[in-house]
Structure 1
Amino acid sequence: MANMTRESAAILTAAGIPVSIEGGYEAYVPKTRIVLFEAGQAVVHGLSFDEALKTITLNPAKLLGIDARVGSIEKGKDADLVLFDGDPFEYLTKVKMVFIDGEMVAEND
C-alpha cells in the first residue's frame, strides 16, 4: 500500500478515476460491515456521501461490465436492495429489509 493515503478515494474520484471498494472474502468473517466501514472512512477523508455510495454499488458494477443490470436503482434493472434504519456507513445502523429480484427475502424488527 505504498503511496496510499486515507484521501486516496477522494483524490482519484476528483481526477475522474472510478474507485471501487471491496472487502475480500473469508468464509468465517462477514465482510459487509467492512465494506460499509471503508466507504464511510472515505467520506470522513474527503469523498462525498454519494460518491462513497457509488464505490460499493455503481462503480464496481461498471468495472465488472454489469451496470446495465445492477449498481443503481433504475427501471429495468435487477431489484436487489437493502434498506437500513439509518446511515449505511454508521456502524450501529442495522439492516431492516432485503429484497432480491424485487421480492422481500428478509425483514428485521
Structure 2
Amino acid sequence: MHSTAKHTIIRVATTGVMLAAAALVELRLMNAYSVPMLLALPCGLAVGFGVGSLVEAVTSRFTTTVYRCTADGCTYKVRVTHVDPVERRRWQEAAASHPSHELNYRP
C-alpha cells in the first residue's frame, strides 16, 4: 500500500474515533438533563465533527510543508503534504520562480 494511502486511512480512522468519542460524551452530558434524543443527536454530532475538524487541522499542520516565494512583498505560497524529497524540491523551486509576482504583490 502506498504511504499516502496509509496516511489517509490513519487520518480518517483517527478523525472518526475522535468524532465518535466527542459525540458520545456530548450525548451523555445532554442525557443527564433529559434532552430528547432527536435534539441531542444533532448536537452531539456537531460537537463530534467540530472536534474531528480540530484534530484534522492540527495534524495537517504537522504534516504539511509550506513554500513561499522569496521575492519581497510576494504572497504566493505552495502547500505540499507527504511528498518525496525530489517532489519537495520541485515545489520549492516552483514557489521561488512563479510567473505572477505582480498579481500577488501587496506593498
> Which TM-score tier does this pair reach, normalised by the shorter chain?
under 0.3
Larger radius of gyration: 2
TM-score of the pair, normalised by structure 1: 0.24
Higher helix share: 2
